[in-house]
């Protein structure tokens, strides 16, 4: 829970720097893969009402998670490779953070918590291939 609180605090700080202090912000955390995507995506949701619509949220996930190469295969444990460390719920944590913001400001969102739960379910279900591979090259190679 401490990690989620930290990501939420950092996202609010980024949003504050951009909106209130009119600063440019460059976010680079640890190895740049996991918490960075969480912080940047959540800050965009806080700042721009477009990302609180269904269309905007889908665009955000595609832009900041799918196109930038989030390691869905490794983090979701969707791989047969033996050298993978296992399940790390980075994207599910992001959905939980959005869920927390949604409950604070429900009228600011076009979608409901059902939409977030549905996305979380299908992230893990592997029914759709969206969240099973790491990048566009892998999706293209597998005809997805």
Per-residue pLDDT tens over the stretch 36-77: 889 999 999 999 999 999 999 999 998 888 776 666 565 544
Nearest to 98 by CA among 84, 79, 83, 117: 117
Calculate what percentage of the chain has a pLDDT beyond 90: 51
| Tally of structural domains, the chain | 1
User: What one-character DSSP code corresponds to residue 139?
Assistant: H
Q: Which residue has 């759709």 as its token pair?
A: 128
CA dist 92 and 76 (Å) reads 9
Number of residues assigned to the chain: 144
Burial-class residue 106 by CB neighbours within 10 Å (0-12, 13-18, 19+).
exposed
CA dist 102 and 108 (Å) reads 8
Q: Is the pLDDT of residue 82 over 50?
A: no
According to the model, what pLDDT value does residue 85 have? 56
Q: pTM for this one?
A: 0.81
| Helices and strands (DSSP H and E) totals, the chain | 7, 0
- Give the pLDDT confidence of 116-127 residue by residue, as tens digits: 999 999 877 877
Burial track 45-67 (b if 16+ CB lie within 10 A, e otherwise)? bbeeeebbeeebbeebbeebbbe
Full domain range(s) for residue 125: 2-141
């Amino acid at each position: 829970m401490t990690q989620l609180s930290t990501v939420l605090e950092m996202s609010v700080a980024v949003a504050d720097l951009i909106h209130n202090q009119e600063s440019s912000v460059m976010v680079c955390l640890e190895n740049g893969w996991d918490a960075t995507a969480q912080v940047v995506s959540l800050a965009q949701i806080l700042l721009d009402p477009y990302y609180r619509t269904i269309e905007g949220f889908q665009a955000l996930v595609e832009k900041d998670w799918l196109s930038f190469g989030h390691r869905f295969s490794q983090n979701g444990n969707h791989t047969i490779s033996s050298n993978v460390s296992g399940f790390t719920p980075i994207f599910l944590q992001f959905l939980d953070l959005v869920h927390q913001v949604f409950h604070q400001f429900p009228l600011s969102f076009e979608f409901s918590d059902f939409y977030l739960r549905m996305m979380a379910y299908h992230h893990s279900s592997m029914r759709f291939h969206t969240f099973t591979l790491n990048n566009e090259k892998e999706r293209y190679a597998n005809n997805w």
